[in-house]
Amino acid sequence: MSEDRAILKVTSDLKAAVSAILQGYGDRQGPVTDASAELHRLCGCLELLLQFDQKEQKSFLGPRKDYWDFLCTALRRQRGDTEAARLVCSQDKLKTPLGKGRAFIRFCLVHGQLAEALQLCLLNPELTREWYGPRSPLLCPELREDILDSLYALNGVAFDLDLQRPDLDEAWPMFSE
């Protein structure tokens, strides 16, 4: 029962974060920047969603894999090399999968591609099941549709974010900066 509540909390928190962005920045009210508390909340919720019930994956003698590795693998299988993945991989200062995943999310927000990129990643249910456990909202068709609908609503919002931040390995940029 508490597992069901955790799953619903992850998805409802994400929807609330999207709603806050839409209320504060929708209808061309100005771009979302790193100074936005709503952006920080949205990014935290997205990261929690992408890590929720993620199976442990390790590379040989390498670090633990994270949601970046899933996104990269899934997109490569669907589309080959994408502009977002190329940009993230070209950032020498980002050393961890977590930092690269954060850079990917920021790139997708700026270019209005977050929902589409995630939808492409989820087109292969077998791959998604390899990376995520049965409790993941990404494996539940109803929750996945709800999540994608929320993320598609962000396409109408302008994001003005620095895509070359070297500090994403440590944490998301704080809105107080």
Mean pLDDT of all residues in 144-163: 95
Provide the pLDDT for residue 175. Answer: 55
pLDDT band at residue 62, thresholds of 50, 70 and 90? low
Q: How far is the C-alpha of 18 from the C-alpha of 45, rounded, in Å? A: 9
pLDDT digits (tens, 9 = 90+) for 80-115: 777 888 888 888 888 888 999 999 999 999 999 999
C-alpha dist (Å) from residue 33 to 47, 130, 171: 18, 35, 16
DSSP bridge pairs for 33: none
pLDDT above 70 covers a percentage of the chain that reads 92
- Report the candidate in 118, 123, 121 with the shortest Cα–Cα distance to residue 108: 118
Q: How far is the C-alpha of 124 from the C-alpha of 42, rounded, in Å? A: 25
Q: Please give the single-letter amino acid code of residue 17.
A: A
Is the CB of residue 51 less than 8 Å from the CB of residue 101? no
pLDDT above 70 for 177: no
Mean pLDDT of all residues in 160-175: 83
- The architecture CATH gives domain 1-160: Up-down Bundle (1.20)
pLDDT band at residue 3, thresholds of 50, 70 and 90? low
38 against 62, higher pLDDT: 38
pLDDT above 70 for 1: no
pLDDT above 70 for 68: yes
